[in-house]
Amino acid sequence: MKILVAISDQQMGESVLEHLKRTPVRNDVEIHFVHVVQWLPNKKEKESWPGLTEFAEAKWDEASQLLDRMAKEFRKTNPNCDIRQQVLHGHPGEEILRYVQQHKIDETVVAPHQRNELSKFFCGNVSAELMQHLPCTLTIVKTTK
Amino acid sequence: MKVLVAVEDQKYGLAVIDFISKHQWSEDTEFKIIHVIEPLLIGSYMSVYPSALLQEINEQSTKYATSLMADMKKNLQKAVPHHHVFTDVFTEIPKYGIINAAKEWPADLIIMGSHGRRGFNKLLLGSVAEAVMSAANCSVTVVRIPETDQNSTAKSHQEQKKEAAAK
């Protein structure tokens, strides 16, 4: 069984880990921790604004460190699970969907931001998008904070 | 931990039970299986149907729900033999029924199936799972049956029908 855990930030990641502690997975599970970086400067933008290269690298490092922390925390309670990490770049809904299809994921776990209707309209609603298009089982973890 | 299992029919019920059996559950976990019978709104506001017919429809729905719950309880108890499993059937609009049942218990997790309707079908029939997902106060798991399994199930139903017709 393959489980994808999509993490957007530290707080959401902690909520997902808390959920995974309460419904532990079996040892033979392959778990993929994924973070999607929404915007990175392209080549032209980097040439025009040299400072953007550093910004992009910092953003990528930040995402990798977040996944490292999550994977480390998860390994404490599930030492025998096969843990994989991947930072992706693009639109979160589309990238998660593509990853699920590529890796034949059986279950996706996400912790969405608690947004009101106005905020959903402007910022989008990834969980609703996943709900509509994902071919696999989806768990929406409600944040405790 | 309190887990509310919302079941609509046999096919998705078994998929949900399969999902539950693939996870481990803490010792104190309780499972409540519910089936929500949709009320016949047309009949109650307009006397389009004769009351005897409505009564029969209600009786049939209750009978189906009772046998479905007994079957689901048996299967789930097999999957999680050390946990307390109980059932409940009530009449309500499904999305409100599930959300209210989760609030009242109160459930920590709702597990339910989804038909994965798209386009016109979704517009017409709605999506209970989507409504529950956005309104529930607790975590929600929506179990999908992979398309390959759906095709194989559909094929096996067709084969069964052909066999029955041949007999």
Q: Return the percentage of chain B with pLDDT > 90, whole number.
A: 28
Range of the domain at B99: 2-166
| B117 pLDDT above the threshold of 70 | no
Q: What pLDDT, on the 0 to 100 scale, is given for residue A117?
A: 62
Rounded Cα gap, residues B23 and A145, in angstroms:
25
Q: How far apart are CA B155 and CA B165, in angstroms?
A: 15
Whether B44 shows a pLDDT value over 70: the answer reads no
Q: Do A136 and B147 touch (CB under 8 A)?
A: no
List the CATH code of the domain at A2-140.
Answer: 3.40.50.620
From the list B22, B24, B118, which residue is nearest A1 (CB)? Answer: B22
Contact B22 A135 (CB under 8 A): no
Residues of B in contact with A24 (CB under 8 A): 23-24
- Residue from the list A25, A131, A142 with its beta carbon closest to the beta carbon of B129: A131
The whole-number average pLDDT for the span B145-163 is: 56
Give the count of beta carbons closer than 10 Å to the beta carbon of residue A98.
Answer: 13
Buried b (16+ CB within 10 A) or exposed e, B144-159: bbeeeeeeeeeeeeee
- What pLDDT shows up at residue B107? 93
Domain ranges of chain A: 2-140
Q: What total of structural domains would you count in chain B?
A: 1
Q: Residue A137 and residue B142: Cβ atoms within 8 Å?
A: yes
Task: Give contacts of B26 with chain A, Cβ < 8 Å.
Answer: 22
> Residue B57 belongs to a domain with what CATH number?
3.40.50.620
A123-145: average pLDDT: 78
B24 touches chain A (CB under 8 A): yes
Express each pLDDT in B49-63 by its tens digit: 667 777 788 888 888
**pLDDT above 70 for A119:** no
- Which stretches of chain B are DSSP H helices? 10-21, 41-45, 51-79, 94-104, 119-125, 128-135, 147-166
pLDDT band at B43 (very low <50, low <70, confident <90, very high): low
Q: What torsion do the CA atoms of B67, B71, B74, B80 make, to the nearest 10 degrees?
A: -130
Mean pLDDT of chain A: 82
For B143, the closest chain A residue by CA position comes to A137
Q: Specify the length of chain B in residues.
A: 167
